[in-house]
């Protein structure tokens, strides 16, 4: 879906602005942005929704702000009607970056 592509590209650009040293790759058949040789985020589209994978730690940390989105241990599902707000994406990404910087596994 071209609209999904536009939304996922918005997220990709935002993550690259936040962490310019990320490397783009594919992992688990999904676009992946890696930081210090570790996956920082994954993102993908399905038929009816998109998914953003910022880490289980980030999802746990911001679970109060994720109410209204379907989440799993590792993913947040969202739609064009209810996209992820820029500020929330920033917080999720920067939190996970800090965890990687602290060498959390």
Q: Per residue in 51-91, pLDDT tens?
A: 999 999 999 999 999 999 999 999 999 999 999 999 999 99
Residue ranges and CATH numbers for the domains of the chain are 2-97 (3.90.1150.200)
Cβ-Cβ contacts under 8 Å for 41 (sequence gap 6 or more) = 11, 15, 32, 33, 52, 53, 54, 55, 92, 93, 96
Q: Per residue in 12-39, pLDDT tens?
A: 999 999 999 999 999 999 999 999 999 9
d(CA 37, CA 98): 14
DSSP code of 82? S
d(CA 74, CA 59): 7
d(CA 4, CA 18): 21
Measured from the Cβ of residue 24, the count of other Cβ atoms closer than 10 Å reads 11
Crossing angle, helix 2-18 and helix 86-101, to 10 degrees? 50
């Amino acid at each position: 879906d071209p609209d999904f592509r536009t939304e996922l590209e918005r997220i990709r650009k935002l993550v690259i602005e936040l962490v310019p040293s990320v490397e783009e790759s594919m992992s688990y058949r999904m676009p992946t942005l890696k930081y210090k040789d570790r996956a920082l985020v994954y993102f993908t589209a399905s038929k009816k929704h998109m998914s953003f994978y910022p880490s289980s730690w980030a999802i746990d940390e911001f679970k109060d702000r994720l109410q209204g989105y379907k989440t799993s241990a590792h993913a947040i599902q969202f739609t064009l009607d209810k996209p992820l707000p820029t500020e929330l994406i920033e917080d999720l990404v920067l939190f996970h970056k800090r965890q990687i910087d602290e060498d959390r596994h």
